[in-house]
Structure 1
Amino acid sequence: MFNVLGIINVIEKEQALMELTENRTLAAVPIGGRYRIIDFTLSNMVNAGIKSIGIFTHFKMGSLVSHLKNSREWNLDTKRRGLFFLPPDFSKYLFSPNKWDVSHFTTRLGYMETSTRQYVIISGCNMVCNIDYQKVLDFHQKNGADITVIFKEVPPGEKEYLSPYLSLDLSTEGQVTGVRTTSGRSNRDKICMEMFLLSRTLLLQLIDECVKQNKWDLVRDGFMGNLRELKIYGYPFTGYLAKINSLRNYYKHSMDLLKPPIWQELFFAAGPVFTKVKDSAPAKYTVDAAVTNALVANDCVIGGRVENSVISRGVKIGKGARVSRSILLEKCVIEENALVENAILDKEVRVTKGKIIGATADGPTVVRKKSVL
Structure 2
Amino acid sequence: MQNILGLILAGGQGTRLGVLTEKIPKPAVQFGGKYRIIDFTLSNCVNSGIYSIGVLTQYRPHLLNRHIGIGKPWDLDRKGGGVTILQPYSTLTESIWFKGTADAVYQNIEFVDEHQPEYIVVLSGDHIYSMDYSEFVYYHISKGAVATIACMEVPLNEAHRFGIMVTDIDNKVVEFQEKPKEPKSNLASLGIYVFTWDFIKKVLIEDAKDESSEHDFGKNVIPKILSTEKVYAFPFEGYWRDVGTILSYWETNLELTRPIPPFNLYDPNWRVYTRSEEMQPAYISDERTVRNSIISEGCEIYGTVDASVISQGVTIGEGSIIKNSVIMTRVVVGKNVVIEDSIISENTVIKDGCKIGVGNFAESTYDRKVYDSHITVVGMDSIIEENCEIGKNVVVGNDRIVPKGTKVSSGGYYM
Fold agreement, TM-score > 0.5: yes
Q: Secondary structure at the match of 1:348?
A: coil
1:367 aligns with 2:378: yes
Question: Hey, what does 2:187 align to over in structure 1?
Answer: 190
Give the corresponding residue for 1:23.
23
The percentage of aligned residue pairs carrying the same residue is: 27
Partner of residue 338, structure 1: 337
Deviation at 1:73, TM superposition (A): 1.0
> How far apart are 1:187 and its partner, in Å?
6.4
Q: Deviations over 1:48-97 (max 9, x none)?
A: 1111100111021111112111311100001342000000125344544x
The Cα of 1:152 is off from its aligned counterpart by 0.6
CA distance in 2, matches of 1:267, 1:145: 35
Which stretches in structure 1 are left out of the alignment for 5+ residues? none
* 1:248-271 Cα distance to aligned partner (Å, 9 max, x none): 211121112222443554663972
Matched residue SS, 2:195? strand
Matched to 1:279, the amino acid is: E
Q: What TM-score results when the alignment is normalised by the length of structure 2?
A: 0.84
The aligned residue for residue 255 of structure 1 is 254
1:282 aligns with 281
- 2: distance between equivalents of 1:58 and 1:264? 29
1:130–1:270 contact (8 Å) kept in structure 2: no
Partner secondary structure for residue 323 of structure 1? strand
The aligned counterpart of 1:242 is: 241
Distance 1:14 1:306 in 2: 29
- Separation (CA, whole Å) in 2 of partners of 1:285 and 1:197: 47
**Alignment correspondent of 1:358:** 357
Report the Cα distance in structure 1 between the residues aligned to 2:269 and 2:162, rounded to whole angstroms. Answer: 25
Q: Give, in whole Å, the separation in 2 of the partners of 1:260 and 1:273.
A: 20
Residue 326 of structure 1: how far off its partner (Å): 0.5
Structure 1 residue 177: Cα displacement:
0.7
Partner residue in 2 for 1:132: 132
1:206 match? 203
What does 1:87-98 correspond to in 2, within 5 Å? 87-89=87-89, 91-93=94-96, 95-96=98-99
What secondary structure sits across from 2:89 in the alignment?
A: coil
Whole-Å separation in 2 of the counterparts to 1:346 and 1:92: 33
Provide the residue aligned with 1:38 in structure 2.
38
In structure 1, distance between residues paired with 2:70 and 2:224: 39
**Separation in structure 2 between the aligned mates of residue 36 and residue 224 of structure 1, nearest angstrom:** 33
Q: Per the alignment, do residues 173 and 207 of structure 1 end up closer, same or farther by CA in structure 2, a change over 3 Å counting? A: same
Task: Name the aligned partner's letter for residue 66 of structure 1.
Answer: R
Decide whether aligned partners of structure 1 residues 205 and 268 sit closer, same or farther in structure 2, where only a CA change above 3 A counts: farther
Distance 2:253 2:193 in 1: 26
Q: Give me the whole-angstrom Cα distance separating, in 1, the residues matched to 2:197 and 2:379.
A: 42
Residues 351, 64 of structure 1: CA spacing in aligned structure 2 closer, same or farther, 3 A cutoff? Answer: same
What is the aligned partner in structure 2 of residue 178 from structure 1?
A: 175
Is residue 163–residue 218 contact of structure 2 (8 Å, CA) maintained in 1? no
What number of residue pairs does the alignment pair up?
A: 367
Report if the CA contact (8 A) 1:207-1:218 is conserved.
Answer: no
Q: 1:4 aligns to what?
A: 4
Distance 1:52 1:184 in 2: 39
Contact 2:118–2:196 under 8 Å retained in 1:
yes
**1-side partners of 2:252 and 2:381: how far apart?**
24
CA shift, 1:185, in A, is: 7.2
Alpha-carbon distance change, 143 to 187 in structure 1, aligned in 2, over 3 angstroms: closer
Q: Residues of 2 paired with 1:270 and 1:218: CA distance?
A: 32
Q: Please give the TM-score of this superposition, normalised by the length of structure 1.
A: 0.93
- Tell me the distance in 2 between the aligned counterparts of 1:185 and 1:281: 54
- The residue that corresponds to 2:58 in the other structure is 58
Q: Is the 8 A contact 1:16 1:26 kept in 2?
A: no
Distance change (3 Å), C-alpha of 1:106 and 1:144: closer
User: Hey, what does 2:328 align to over in structure 1?
Assistant: 329
Alpha-carbon separation, structure 1, partners of 2:235 and 2:181: 19
Deviation for aligned residue 1:155 = 2.7
Of structures 1 and 2, the one scoring higher in RCO (CA 8 A, sep 6+) is: 1
Partner SS state of residue 275, structure 1: coil
1:127–1:264 distance in 2 versus 1, CA, 3 Å? closer
Cα distance in 1 for partners of 2:146, 2:268 equals: 28
Task: Indicate whether 1:315 and 2:334 are aligned.
Answer: no
- Aligned partner of 1:169 in structure 2 is 166
Q: What is the alpha-carbon root mean square deviation over aligned residues?
A: 2.0
SS of residue matched to 1:41: helix
Larger Rg: 2
Deviant stretches of 4+, over 6 Å: none
Counterpart in 2 of 1:224? Answer: 223
Aligned residue in 1 for 2:86: 86
Partner deviation per Cα, 1:257-303 (whole Å, 9 max, x = no partner): 22244355466397211111432111101122210010111000001
- Alpha carbons 2:153, 2:187 under 8 Å: kept: yes
Question: What CA deviation, in whole Å up to 9, does each residue of 1:177-235 have, x standing for no partner?
Answer: 11112278746311100000011212211111212333323333222212112401100
Q: Distance in 2 between matches of 1:231 and 1:223?
A: 11
Question: 3-state DSSP class of the match of 1:262?
Answer: coil
Give the SS at the match of 2:8. strand
